[in-house]
Structure 1
Amino acid sequence: MNKPYVIGIAGSSGSGKTFFLRSFLNHFLPEQVTLISQDDYYIPANTKTREENRLYNFDVPTSINREAFYHDIKELFDGKTVHKEEYTFNNPDLKPKMLEIKPAPVLIVEGLFIFHYEEVNDLLDFRIFLDAEESVALERRLRRDLLERGYDHDDVMYKWENHVVPSYNQYLLPYRPICDMVIINNTDDPKIIDDAANKISFDLKEKNSHITII
């Protein structure tokens, strides 16, 4: 198998990465694109107490099993299938799924630190930065963490002020100038995301005629 075309996608919390990824993936046949997410490589923290979890900083590079993340990306480069248990963010109500990540001509690498990790950044062919104003991003973060992950309001706000924003400023924002595309997503208008996904997928097809865009 030839080296895949690697697209790196990172963005601030609440920037709309999940929606963008869903829209982008819909432009390809399933066997032509695969996604590996940094979020599934968090070092487990489920042995901690509630207070320890509240204070624990998940938004630093050392919270990720960096070596395993890079190893599995290289496995995909070598045409091997990766099996990885989904990370459920310590939500006891969610049963983790076993992920099967198959190699494909287009590989999407997603996560907060993918530009900061030099060995991962060096593998990327195209870099996408999603961003949103802080007030918009916080509103989305609250909606997600309160409803989907079962956190309470005080926990979300503590992490936002002490972990999320400082991490964004230190480990992600400095890499914005090197990215090939910056998407500002301050509204919940899906057209912004769809237009960006359409453009990238079309450009990708132009460079790789063997890839089918749907």
Structure 2
Amino acid sequence: MLTKSRKITPVPQTLRRTQTQPCLVIAIAGLSASGKTTLAQDLREELNAPLIQMDDYYKDIPANTPVESLNWDDPEMFHLSEWREHLEALAQGQTVQIPRYDFCTSLRSGSRTATPSPTIIAEGQFALHPNAIPDHHCINIFVELDIEAAYSRRLQRDTTERGRTPDSIQTQWENHVIPAWQNWVEPSRLRADLVLSGNANRLQNLQRTRQIVEKMRASLAYLR
């Protein structure tokens, strides 16, 4: 958690959205366990913006489907078009019902209400996939981290927080995560406006993102 004494000052009022200012979508992608969720949560707190996470857009899995047959790291497992439509609707000033996904049942379990905001944060490893990027003013961010460090983080996270065994984590990493990174995640880096290191100081990444947001706001104001 960011300490109060070191927190970046709030976004100036002149940079906040008025009724005629366009909304900005900050899309954050990267390898699993790279640090993209941490950045997204820091931005949510800093900008007081809604956070839309791609994990809530997984498709429902039919009952009795063998767990070992599922590849959670495939773009086809997500409702990418619905994700994009919801981001575009929010950016256009509409209220949207965001799904909630229950990983215990592999089904949606209700929804939550997201209301329009000057900035929307969208986070997921496929957030920069061609079918996921909204047709709107968007800042694309890619969080990079070397494979070994990301695997170490995921191993620690999934064994302590999700009750996974090291063998199952390694199998999923080698058979699903790495192919997804090679085929879709790493190539999406080319669409990024800003590349951040998952090993960098959190405040440093937050400030670099804040700078590009301010530049984009200034550019949009100039074009009005």
Q: 1:117 to 1:53 in 2, by over 3 A?
A: farther
> Which has the larger displacement, 96-105 or 38-47?
96-105
Whether 1:19 aligns to 2:38 is yes
Whether 1:200 aligns to 2:212 is no
For 2:63 and 2:134, the matched residues in 1 are separated by 31
Letter in structure 2 aligned against 1:141: R
Within-5 A mapping of 1:1-214: 2-28=21-47, 30=48, 33-45=49-61, 47-49=63-65, 52-90=66-104, 98-118=111-131, 120=133, 122-123=135-136, 125-186=138-199, 192-205=201-214, 207-208=216-217
Letter in structure 1 aligned against 2:201: I
- State whether residues 91 and 149 of structure 1, in contact with CA within 8 Å, keep that contact through their aligned partners in structure 2: no
Q: TM-score, normalised by structure 2?
A: 0.77
Q: Percent identity?
A: 29
CA deviations over 1:158-182 (Å, ceiling 9, x no partner): 1110000110111011121331211
Higher relative contact order (CA 8 A, sep 6+): 1
- State whether residues 46 and 90 of structure 1, in contact with CA within 8 Å, keep that contact through their aligned partners in structure 2: no
- State whether residues 131 and 185 of structure 1, in contact with CA within 8 Å, keep that contact through their aligned partners in structure 2: yes
For 2:99 and 2:131, the matched residues in 1 are separated by 25
Q: Secondary structure at the match of 2:72?
A: coil
Q: TM-score, normalised by structure 1?
A: 0.80
- State whether residues 128 and 191 of structure 2, in contact with CA within 8 Å, keep that contact through their aligned partners in structure 1: no
